[in-house]
Amino acid sequence: MIRIIILCLGVALIAFIAWWFFGKHNFATENASVNSNKQSVDIVVKGGYSPEKVILERGIPATLNFKRTDSSSCLDHVIFSDFGINQKLPQGKTEPIKIDTSKPGEYEWACSMNMFHGKVIVK
Ligand SMILES: [Cu+2]
């Protein structure tokens, strides 16, 4: 009986892990919504970043709207080292961050402890 319970828990755990990774990959990348010379992407900060990869168009002023719903202090700052940005993210509020899109390339962001990461791709 105990063996069956352990087996069931094991299967449930594997299913959960598979779902977790599948879900993340499924929602990982998002293109900015562009309208009248502006582009923006909303990013939810909760146990990481969603989406964690953002594609922006070159030369159009861009804003990333970070909304932190996670209470952990780990995620209370977001750092774009390429742009010299170190922005506090107040919990429950949307914090707009302007991104320089003048040069194409890939720019990473991270939490203050460099544990969680995301990436901006300027095309
Ligand atoms: Cu962290």
* 87 CA → ligand 1 middle, Å: 13
* 46 CA → ligand 1 middle, Å: 11
End-to-end Cα distance, the chain = 57
- At residue 1, the pLDDT reads 79
**Percent of the chain scored above 70 by pLDDT?**
79
Alpha-carbon separation of residue 100 from 16, 49, 53, 113 (angstroms): 38, 20, 16, 23
Q: Over 90: is that where the pLDDT of 16 sits?
A: no
Mean pLDDT of 23-31: 67
Over residues 39-70, the pLDDT tens digits come to: 999 999 999 999 999 999 999 999 999 999 99
29-122 homologous superfamily: Cupredoxins -  blue copper proteins (2.60.40.420)
Alpha-carbon separation of residue 7 from 2, 19, 62 (angstroms): 8, 18, 49
- At residue 35, the pLDDT reads 84
How many CB atoms sit inside 10 A of residue 24's CB?
Answer: 13
* 23 CA → ligand 1 middle, Å: 21
